Amino acid sequence: MSRDISRRVDKFNPYDWTKKEKVVYLAKRDPFLKVEKIAQLAETSSHYVRTVLSEANLSLTRLRKEYAQGSDTEVDERNGLLLDILDIKQLNNLTVELETDEAILNNIDKYNKLKENNNYQLAKTRLFQLKDDVSLINSNLIVTKEAYDSLSKLKEKSNAHFSKIRCSSVLSQKKITRLLNIKENSPIIVIWKEIFINQKLCGVDMIYCDFSKFQLVLDPISYQGIKLEVKSDY
């Protein structure tokens, strides 16, 4: 049966992916990952990763070249912020409850090294309510030697670079658990972009949301065009 794969969009749960789907997704989204790292993230062996890539006619070397050649054309995604790219405002019944000048991150230890040898920090967290509960968190952390009034100002700089969107499902830690009013170590959806200045990591743009209330939508063939939706049964 023929189908228009460029228009096909499926809803997915990261836990429902097959190992093959995970391998293809990881290779296309970040071709600079080593085979061993892809195997670790996909919970399989390096041999299986190589087999899948071969069967799918995917070469990490070729993908890396295409990634570099295409970096200048991905303006909307690469220079955009998550709230704009994912069009959070279009989500039904989602409203901003609170904004704070603090970066609330699920794994702050991972980004503590950003503070070394820098003296200016731009941080902000927005809490979004779905019905009566905080269900989505957007948190930004930028640490640089220069002062920036906002992320919007930063992204206009020629030496600033925003990574592609990445997404995952992780277990919630204390602060995020408390804000989302869920049990600790509950699965949450994490979407993020890393921010670089002069090719040096200086910040992150993060979204955390309740796994039981949201789902990601993506093209299962190209693994591009990620959207966030409220689950129909919520």
Locus of tokens 């948190």: 139
Q: How many other β-carbons are positioned within 10 Å of the β-carbon of residue 59?
A: 14
Residue 226 lies in a domain: yes
With a cut of 60, say whether residue 181 has pLDDT above it: yes
Q: Hey, what amino acid is at 27?
A: A
Query: Could you tell me if 227 and 216 are in contact, meaning their C-beta atoms sit under 8 angstroms apart?
Result: yes
CA distance 64 to 199: 17
**Residues 124 and 219 placed together within one structural domain of the fold:** yes
Range of the domain at 162: 75-230
CA distance 162 to 151: 11
Q: Is the whole model's pTM more than 0.75, yes or no?
A: no
With a cut of 70, say whether residue 121 has pLDDT above it: yes
Q: Please give the residue that has the higher pLDDT: either 87 or 134.
A: 134
Last residue of a domain, one of 70, 88, 106: 70
Q: Which residues contact 133 (CB under 8 A, 6 or more apart)?
A: 180, 181, 210
**Residues 102 and 27 placed together within one structural domain of the fold:** no
Mind listing the pLDDT tens digit for each residue in 47-98?
Answer: 999 999 999 888 888 877 765 554 433 334 556 788 877 777 667 677 777 8
Q: What pLDDT band is residue 207 in, cutting at 50, 70 and 90?
A: very high
Query: Could you tell me if 35 and 59 are in contact, meaning their C-beta atoms sit under 8 angstroms apart?
Result: no
